[in-house]
Structure 1
């Protein structure tokens, strides 16, 4: 097959792989922003800040609870499926679910005990929403294990339906119903409790979808185990994911501790808008992970370079378009949440600059983890996490939410430069939208 024919085939495969995921991501993003607008207007900046603070902690706590299995599953499920090793696939899934559930429950219980003991030293507006949100830790962890399994099986859209559609729709319906016929005025604790119920329903729907998908392959296979190898690979991935979570949420957590819930609410809205720039990156990564693992397993570096370059170009084109819209109409978008949120426009602009660099570099973190270089990725994430914490500690007291935005943007840019260098040195490809196709 000629180079041009291979390129055409790869393009068609890539388009098919990401089109459905992209459409679903667009729908989910729209629902997410509708939910955020409803919440922000119902709770105000302070209440929304308490809600966001609780969920920032949930996201951080879920990472060590997952023990890296959510990342490992995408790679190993794709490899086991390619090799038709159904026994190992079944053993991996059984191990991941039990280990992650037990770990998540222990972590959530431990944090509840610690915060109960020190509750007098914690902001009263934060404590009750946080306690209720801890119920989400085991639910979220098992949800991510299930999603990773579906991604590894290359059933990306089916793996996202429950979280991207079922959960936000249930949440919106419960919120509107509670405000109209039950609670009346919604507080942050009520919104968190409603989210827990929506998450339980979405989890049940997703579990049924997964069981149907697995029945095709693993129904008759006896489970086999490589537990030592799985833990050995999962631990660096857990470390990497933990450091990623620190980089993603340390600004919100430190801002809440230093400046209070109202500032967090305004900052979090700007952060959500800036994240729109890289949402196409998230959509592409959902489809790309198994393909990267399989191409690298076959040592097809030419095919891998083409895949990475084309996906990076698609990501950058869409990201630049979103950037232009946000910069031009940023104040209007922020005003949708309430006039008090317009003060976050400078924060939005700063965060957007970091996100556009992130989009231009493509799926660098995914490439390292899917090619067995998770230990190296964790080292790079550790460097940027320390940098992020230090910058926030210095800049937030003096510059508030603008200081948090500068810290996050600089850490994100540094992250991408470090990872891009290591992908080039270790994997042998150039991870950029500007790289050649061959």
Structure 2
């Protein structure tokens, strides 16, 4: 009897494993477009989650090793690097997902080769020139800048050219479906290097202040970018035959600059809360708020993963005139953005306190802020990557207008709420602005493209 009773206990786990394999096979298997998109988005999501784990670990270590004030300064400077570095490529990292598929579809190999090399030289040279101007501006304004912030800001300026070039290479790699090559150097290798370098400094007995942390971050950005460049050049050499190059910089910029406007306003919207908080509140409070933002980052990664996977296919299907295929693909992208985002939000809110405690006991006071900040992220996920859809289909200017209005709203609300409510006010301002942005994007897509872009409701 004991042996008979034991058989179901053994079979049940095996049956559960078989059902899990079947479910994963249904989600990630197959050869169709939807299956390929899920696999690529899954790859991006795994990379971003791994990156988030490394970034989270590095931020926990830095917060504990540096102390609240130095950590707040580091967060402030690094936020400027992320903001400016993401804007100084003229939008090329995103427009590559439109330009490269179009060149390939038309068989314009010379223009394709010219773009693959010329876009990188252009963005690197321009960002280097802007970085020197910014360094001069820091020197000019140094009497009015906190003494502890000046040197980290100089280091941030030196970091920008490599950061911008890495973004450009990321866009090129993703346009060829080389997701790991595009994302691993920036999001995994760079974070691992930051941890390794700062840990080495700490063990060696160096004072790990904001300056040392920025030096480690700058070294990590340059090393990761160089390795990515070598790997990308090797991959492209085996994928695209050698030959003459043509450069159509005017066309590149005509596509890229409107997209830059969209992404620029979105980035400003994303970072306004931290930057305004720095002006009105202490560095310690900035550090707590940044820890909350990092904790909720998993939700944004899902949106990012689907956006990065789908953008060049939106452009391809539109170029082919296949409206039915495009509409079905958009609906699939929205569904696979919203529901995983909702699940991730619920999980993060449930685990919020222990996750914040990892930064230090004093960071748990930010737990209430998580609920306020989560509202905007979930609402934004409900329309999926529609900003990429508008950009790829030639509606960049109206998309930029929507983001500009949302950014202005965010600035006004942050200035009104942050001085009185601190981190809670910053989170409320950002969530309200994201809800407003989502409503605008839904209306624009409905009117201009005739598509229903909510994860639920009538299609």
Tell me whether the two structures share a fold, i.e. TM-score over 0.5: yes
Following the alignment from structure 2 to structure 1, what is the Cα–Cα distance between the partners of residues 355 and 309? 30
Query: Are 2:138 and 1:111 equivalent residues in the alignment?
Result: no
Among candidates 264, 285, 294, match of residue 272 of structure 1 = 294
TM-score scaled to structure 1, two decimals? 0.94
CA contact (8 A) 1:76 1:152 kept: no
- Please say if residues 295 and 301 of structure 1, whose CA atoms lie closer than 8 Å, have aligned partners that are also in contact: yes
CA contact (8 A) 1:14 1:307 kept: no
What's 1:55 paired with? 78
Cα separation, 1, equivalents of 2:402 and 2:453? 16
Matched, 1:361 2:413: no
1:290, CA displacement in angstroms? 1.4
Q: Does 1:127 align with 2:150?
A: yes
Which moves more between the two structures, 189-198 or 276-285?
A: 276-285
Matched, 1:389 2:441: no
Shift of 1:42: 1.2
The answer to whether the 8 Å contact 1:167/1:199 transfers is yes
- Paired residue for 2:276, among 236, 248, 254? 254
Mapped to 2, the partners of 1:233 and 1:9 lie a distance apart of 29
Shift of 1:8: 8.7
Report the more deviating stretch, 225-234 or 244-253: 225-234
Q: Is 1:226 aligned to 2:237, yes or no?
A: no
Alpha-carbon contact 1:63-1:238 (below 8 Å) kept: no
How far apart, CA to CA, are the structure 1 residues paired with 2:318 and 2:282? 47
- CA gap of 1:426–1:213, structure 2 versus 1, over 3 A, is farther
Change in CA separation of 1:435 and 1:18 when aligned onto 2, cut-off 3 Å: farther
Q: Distance in 1 between matches of 2:149 and 2:287?
A: 12
Q: Which residue of 2 aligns with 1:102?
A: 125
Q: Which residue in the other structure is 1:137 paired with?
A: 160
The answer as to 2:257 corresponding to 1:241 is no
Task: Quote the residue 1:408 is aligned against.
Answer: 430
Per the TM alignment, residue 84 of structure 1 is displaced from its structure 2 partner at its CA by: 2.9
Structure 1 pair 374–38 and aligned structure 2 pair: CA distance change class (3 A)? same
Structure 1, unpaired ranges of 5+: 1-6
| In structure 1, C-alpha distance between the alignment counterparts of 2:193 and 2:408, rounded to whole Å | 38
Q: Is the 8 A contact 2:49 2:298 kept in 1?
A: no
Corresponding residue SS for 2:351: helix
Query: Cα offset for 1:125?
Result: 3.0
Partners of 2:312 and 2:294 in 1: CA distance: 28
The 3 A distance-change label for structure 1 pair 379 and 138 is same
1:287 and 2:309 equivalent? yes
Instruction: Write out aligned runs for 1:35-114 (5 A).
Output: 35-114=58-137
What is the CA-CA distance between 1:401 and the residue it aligns to? 1.4
Q: Deviations over 1:165-205 (max 9, x none)?
A: 2211122111111110251x311111110111111111111
Contact 1:236 1:378 in 2 (8 A): yes
C-alpha separation between the residues in 1 aligned to 2:132 and 2:55? 29
C-alpha displacement of 1:64: 4.2
TM-score normalised per structure 2: 0.89
- Which structure carries more relative contact order (alpha carbon 8 Å, separation 6+)? 1
Give the Cα separation in 1 of the matches to 2:457 and 2:117: 41
Q: Deviations over 1:310-345 (max 9, x none)?
A: 222222222122211222221221111001111111
Is the contact between residue 240 and residue 381 of structure 1 (CA under 8 Å) also seen in structure 2?
yes
Partner of 2:214: 192
Tell me the CA shift for residue 385 of structure 1. 0.9
Matched with 1:162 is 185
Q: CA separation in 2, counterparts of 1:177 and 1:168?
A: 14
Task: State the alpha-carbon separation in 1 of the partners of residues 445 and 110 from structure 2.
Answer: 32
Q: Aligned-pair distance for 1:412?
A: 1.1
Change (3 A) 1:72 1:435: farther
Judged with a 3 Å threshold, the aligned counterparts in structure 2 of structure 1 residues 101 and 10 are, in CA distance, closer, same or farther, namely closer
Aligned to 2:342: 320
Cα distance in 1 between the residues matched to 2:47 and 2:382: 22
CA contact (8 A) 1:18 1:283 kept: yes
Q: Take 1:73 and 1:291, find their aligned partners in 2: how far apart are those partners?
A: 12
Gaps of 5+ in 2: 1-29
Higher Cα Rg, which structure? 2
> Distance between the aligned counterparts of 1:275 and 1:20, measured in 2?
17
Conserved 8 A contact 1:292-1:371: yes
Secondary structure of 1:337's aligned partner: coil
Partner residue in 2 for 1:3 = none
In the alignment, is the contact (CA less than 8 A) between 2:314 and 2:393 conserved in 1? yes
Runs ≥4 in structure 1, deviation > 4 angstroms? none
- What is the alpha-carbon root mean square deviation over aligned residues? 1.8
Cα pair 1:274 1:352 within 8 Å, conserved: yes
Of the structure 1 ranges 187-196 and 167-176, higher mean CA displacement relative to structure 2 is found in: 167-176
Structure 2 partner of 1:216: 238
- Residue 171 (str. 1) matches residue 194 (str. 2): yes
Task: Write the distance in 2 (CA, Å) between the matches of 1:280 and 1:165.
Answer: 16
